[in-house]
Amino acid sequence: MKLLYADSAGVLYEDPELFAAAWTGAETIPFLEREAVPLPPGSDLVLLDQRAPVGWAAGRPVKDVRRLEGGGKLFAVAALLPAGFTRTLLPAYRVYGPTPDLGLFGYTAVGARDGELFAAALHTDEEYRWNPLLYNDPTLPRRIKAKRRQFPTNRLVEHLAHCACAYHCLTAQNIFYARWEAGLPVSPACNADCLGCISRPPSGRCPPAGGPPSGRPPAGRPPAPQERIGFVPTVSEVVELGVSHLRDGVEPIISFGQGCEGEPLLQSKLLAQAVRGIRKATGRGSINLNTNGGDPAALAALGEAALDSVRISLISAREEMYTAYHRPRGFGLADVRRSIAAARTRGVFVSLNLLTFPGLTDREEEVTALLELVRSEGVHMVQLRNLNVDPYRLLKTLPPARGRILGMPALVSRLRHIPDLRVGNFTISIRQGPAN
């Protein structure tokens, strides 16, 4: 498989001599076709600005890395995978001198053979509900207008319409398509400062829980891909939109804690009232919460209010790495474990939103800690999520990764060998209930 790169106009080239390379997070290695899949439909290719492509010369030992000298005119290329695919290797490139951070996307190694493109990925879930071809169709504007007429004073409708059109957010669009998983954001504030946070308020300032804005993001942090919700909705706004989706939607799920908000457990009292109100009106569909799991008591209260499932985000089951990435305020990994227990004892289906990053997640010490947590806490599902972040910036910021790299396929295999553990990428419907 040959090296793939691009010029400043975005034209792709398959090098006639150099072979493809990938980065494990620790070293640059040959990227072999047997470790790749054909580039999945729905993938995007991106040019990595100010980053030189890296390839292998035939017959050279592994440590002989050759860089193409393009005089600033040739650039490394990476793939952004569609939903349902898990990245196994990072793109190989060389950074020379100060360069701006890459945007918050899941950069994946790519290569080429006779014009066919390949990516370093595993197919880990059925993705038909998240196929881009099923979204952004000509009916979306009409559907948004209809929802506005149905709920003319509901601010969540306006916020989600913006997300659906400006950011092409699929969970926002599902509200208007009346199907599948739909996000209902509730919290402008957060009690963590994750390195890969994908939302901040329009001002660029991130308000912590119970305090004033904390100032502009640290120097070098790239712009957030989307704006965070700027208000706290009322219980009635959440209930009427949630009931509508669960009662009338196709295979419906409503999810609190989507990408355009902070930490939803900071609005746990509102959520508990909303969940009770929704369940009073309909028993159909599933109610899900995406959270950092930092407040066990709040999660317990939501379980008692009839929450169906919870997905807790986690980059590591080791305290040092967990804290360095999530940068929690007022809680720690021990609280996350207590939250898992609190949810399970109340009959809530518990998933981990595992933020995967080759060279970190697949380290032996990380895998051992993760498997221990999953087994000991009785986690029902692990959802694999490609961490969207600049690879070099992340590894420069976190503590040095230690232990042997097992590889992402080995991690997925070990998870799948845990009895009764479900492994995939997406939130599943826990119950449908009778139509109302």
Could you tell me if 3 and 18 are in contact, meaning their C-beta atoms sit under 8 angstroms apart?
A: yes
pLDDT, one tens digit per residue, over 358-415 is 999 999 999 999 999 999 999 999 999 999 999 999 998 999 888 899 999 999 999 9
Class of domain 129-424: alpha beta
Summarize the confidence of residues 142-162 as an average pLDDT: 96
pLDDT of amino acid 70: 55
Q: What is the pLDDT of residue 382?
A: 98
Give the tokens for residue 365: 């010490």
* pLDDT band with cut points at 50, 70 and 90 for residue 433: low
Domain map of the chain by residue range? Answer: 2-123, 129-424
How would residue 100 be classed by pLDDT, with cut points 50, 70 and 90? confident
Distances (CA, A) of 323 to 25, 205, 218, 327, 436: 20, 21, 17, 5, 45
Nearest to 84 by CA among 110, 106, 109: 106
CA distance 390 to 375: 31
